[in-house]
Structure 1
Amino acid sequence: MRIFADRLMEQLSKQLHPTYLIFGNEPLLIQESRQAIQKAALVQGFEERHRFAIDNSFNWSLVYDCCQAMSLFSSKQIIELELPDTGTNAAIAKELLAVSELLHSDVILVVIGSKLTKAQENAKWFKTLANQGCWVNCLTPDLQRLPQFVQARCRALHLKPDQEAVQMLAQWHEGNLFALTQSLEKLALLYPDGVLTLVRLEESLSRHNHFTAFHWVDALLAGKAKRSQRILRQLEAEGTESVILIRTIQKELVQLLSMANQAKLQPLNQVFESFRIWQSKRPLYSLALNRLQPEKIIQLLQLLTKAELLAKTQYEQPSWPLLHQLSAEICLAQVQL
């Protein structure tokens, strides 16, 4: 079965599965999920925990020995396997399948990894382990789901934010859920009545949002001009190398150009399939393709080339103004937040 991380506590209160697959890109949710499993398992007698970091040179006999340590005097065990950030190769996949055959009632297997690709979701080892237990999805909430996430965290701490406070907390902590958790705990101590307003937030907190180049790209694809400029200003203030942004958006624009040309001959869904665009990203690409004709994308690539030449040859003259111009042109001066 598959659940999102915010439903894990509810699931654990009903049943303890023999396997848990914790995958995603949000460190806070991954950490909280593994801790929740450990706590629930301890109540049911799983007192021993073994934690292994998997790489190509890992000795899998260590895991086999744990699985086979069955006696009247042995403790029930949790075995945690942390997969490499690059994912699984054929050798690791083979070993995971072998481990799945050794599991028994005195062992809980927890496999932890980064965000899955479609190919990894369909891999035999993953399907085998998922069928034996629970897949916990630990993806970072996007900007649309973040206010709902903030409200749920506030309820758990008996905080009562008004709507403006929820939006402010989401905006200030986007991309940094660890800081959000710390901020809410601080607010709970400062205000025993739990009431949160804009005034109280501004008196108590500073901004903790953490943007990456990918936040900027998503805002550009969606045509959100103000948001893209805000992200770009913060990345500039934090000292992000402009070349990183140039390379990131260059890849997207080249792909958009190919997609736009292919869309003249095929339905858009077929184009998305051929470029392996995730379902969650397709609305963003649809918006971009509706706004940007191939001729315009070529002009944007030419402007990007100027920015790259400036960044690499004219160190006394920043390329950031050209990136701001590029952002405005990609969004076509839209003002949606």
Structure 2
Amino acid sequence: MKLYPDKLEAHLSKTLAPVYLLHGDEPLQLMEIGDRLRVRAKESGFDERQVIAIADDSDWSTFREAADSFSLFAEQRLIELRLPTGKPGRIGGEVLQKYCSNPPADILLLITSSKLDRNGTNSAWFKAIDKVGVSLAVWPVPAAQLGAWLTQRLAAKGLYADADALELIADRVEGNLLAARQEVERLALLYPAGELSSDQILAAVSDSSRYSIGDLSLAALHGESVRALRILAGLHDEAVSEVLVLWSLVNEIRAGARAAESIEAGASEDAALKSAGVWQSRTAPLKKALTRHTASSWLSMLSACTHIDRQIKGQASGSHWDSLAALTTELAGHGEIPLRKNSGIPV
């Protein structure tokens, strides 16, 4: 069953499905919906929680073992499965289809994925999940709706702002919901409940526009290495999950690798981008990046993503934030990724 995020509460008040799939590229909403489902699961007796991040086919064995095993500590368990690429592959697709054919009664499965393309939502594994469970697509809040979103968030803190003040906040955060939430929380700490003036907001709201995960990948694709590194530094300072940052870069790099291989095989640039499943809004920046990178360099960056994933999990030495800085620099420029030594994240 496909469900819109604003209908989630009504759904949870009636039932709890055995499987939930959250997919999209808006990190705040993914995080908050995931948190709500975790709370609801705990209320229903799913006291034990296990998180499995899928990096390669071997991780599906871990998931199978977790799904087949009995818990020693709780009768019901929540298993969180994270798909950074949104593509489980042949093995993962088969595992998910088999699981959904007869989901265990004592397990609640929560799958979090990056944005799925048309092939993903038409796949057999997605349809198997949709048949037995619930899928929620999370999209960025359109600019025209950001004012209403901010009004709702401020009202929950007992604060109210006129149209000019709301526009001022919206201009400062540029659609970055993580930054917008932080600004609302800051305003609630600084001012008592009541009406907010534009002067108060000017004094309190910092310029957070550069701290957007989406802006990070766009800046790198456009070749704006200095700006991209500043965005990465901002994400680091805001304690944005490094997993989400890596997801953002992996999606673009994977698409670039597929397109570059098709082009080198003789396909036109437009045909290559279409076959790679690139969304229209990403076509122009990816075309710029394709002029700077060969198929070999795209594959080198994919290899670096695997290394960074291992660093995040504690399975490889070194700073994953330093490696993310090196990867961002490479995506924005030329040459091999200096993973052995890099200059780190600027401040």
TM-score range, shorter chain: 0.5 to 0.7
For 2:163 and 2:229, the matched residues in 1 are separated by 29
Q: Match for 1:199: what amino acid?
A: D
Describe the SS at the equivalent of 1:192.
coil
Indicate the residue corresponding to 1:129 in structure 2. 129
Q: How does 1:1-337 map to 2 (within 5 A)?
A: 1-69=1-69, 74-85=74-85, 87-210=87-210, 212=215
- Note the residue ranges of structure 2 that are not aligned, 5 or more in a row: 233-255, 260-268, 293-347
C-alpha deviation, 1:6, in angstroms: 4.3
Contact 2:216 2:228 in 1 (8 A): no
Q: State the 1:194 CA deviation.
A: 3.2
Query: How far 1:100 sits from its partner (Å)?
Result: 1.6
| Count, aligned residues | 247
| Whole-Å separation in 2 of the counterparts to 1:276 and 1:55 | 21
Is the CA contact 2:19–2:134 (under 8 Å) kept in the aligned structure 1?
yes
Report the Cα distance in structure 1 between the residues aligned to 2:114 and 2:231, rounded to whole angstroms: 27
Task: Kindly name which structure, 1 or 2, has the bigger radius of gyration based on alpha carbons.
Answer: 1
Could you list the runs of 5+ residues in structure 1 that have no partner in the other structure?
Answer: 217-231, 241-247, 252-257, 260-272, 286-300, 309-337
Structure 1 pair 26–200 and aligned structure 2 pair: CA distance change class (3 A): same
Residue 119 of structure 1 deviates from its aligned partner by 0.7
1:112 is paired with a residue of what secondary structure?
strand
Contact 1:100 1:128 (C-alpha < 8 Å) held by counterparts:
yes
In structure 2, the CA distance between the partners of 1:54 and 1:169, relative to structure 1 (3 Å rule), is same
Contact 1:25 1:115 survives alignment (8 Å): yes
Q: State the alpha-carbon separation in 2 of the partners of residues 119 and 214 from structure 1.
A: 22
Give the AA of the match of 1:62.
Answer: T
CA 1:44–1:198: 2 relative to 1, 3 Å: same
Please give the per-residue CA displacement for 1:272-321, whole angstroms capped at 9, x wherever unaligned. Answer: x999786xx69x99xxxxxxxxxxxxxxx9xx9xxx9xxxxxxxxxxxxx
Distance 1:180 1:65, change over 3 A: same
Amino acid at match of 1:150: L
State the one-letter code of the partner of 1:5: P
CA distance in 2, matches of 1:16, 1:53: 23
Task: Tell me what 1:221 maps to.
Answer: none
Whether the 8 Å contact between 2:174 and 2:209 is mirrored in structure 1 is yes
Instruction: Check 1:52–1:45 CA distance in 2 against 1; reply closer, same or farther (3 A cut).
Output: same
Q: CA RMSD in A?
A: 3.9
Give, in angstroms, the shift of residue 131 of structure 1. 2.0
- The one-letter amino acid of 1:24's match is G
Q: Give the secondary-structure state (helix, strand or coil) at the position aligned to 1:119.
A: helix
Report if the CA contact (8 A) 2:48-2:73 is conserved.
no
Q: Distance in 2 between matches of 1:105 and 1:236?
A: 46
| 8 A contact 1:24–1:138 mirrored in 2 | yes
Counterpart amino acid of 1:155?
A
Distance in 2 (alpha carbons) for counterparts of 1:119 and 1:44:
34
**1:187 Cα deviation (Å)?**
1.0
- Structure 1 residue runs of 4 or more that deviate by more than 4 Å after TM superposition: 70-74, 213-216, 234-240, 273-278
* Structure-2-length-normalised TM-score: 0.60
The alpha-carbon deviation at position 91 of structure 1 amounts to 1.9
Give the Cα separation in 2 of the matches to 1:237 and 1:117: 28
- Under a length normalisation based on structure 1, what TM-score does the superposition of the two structures give? 0.61
The CA distance in 2 between the partners of 1:76 and 1:86, in whole Å, is 27
Q: For the Cα contact (< 8 Å) 1:56–1:92, is it kept in 2? A: no
Please say if residues 188 and 194 of structure 1, whose CA atoms lie closer than 8 Å, have aligned partners that are also in contact: no
Q: Deviations over 1:126-153 (max 9, x none)?
A: 1110222221222222322322322222
Deviation for aligned residue 1:79: 0.8
- d(CA) in 2 for partners of 1:76, 1:239: 41
Distance 1:236 1:123 in 2: 34
Structure 1 distance, partners of 2:79, 2:2, is 20
Q: What is the CA–CA distance in structure 2 between the aligned matches of 1:178 and 1:213, rounded to whole Å?
A: 14
Contact 2:18–2:108 (CA<8 Å) still a contact in 1? yes
Distance in structure 1 (CA, Å) of the matches to 2:61 and 2:191? 53
SS in 2 for 1:181: helix
Q: Taking every aligned residue pair, what percent have the same amino acid on both sides?
A: 28
Q: 1:178 to 1:276 in 2, by over 3 A?
A: closer
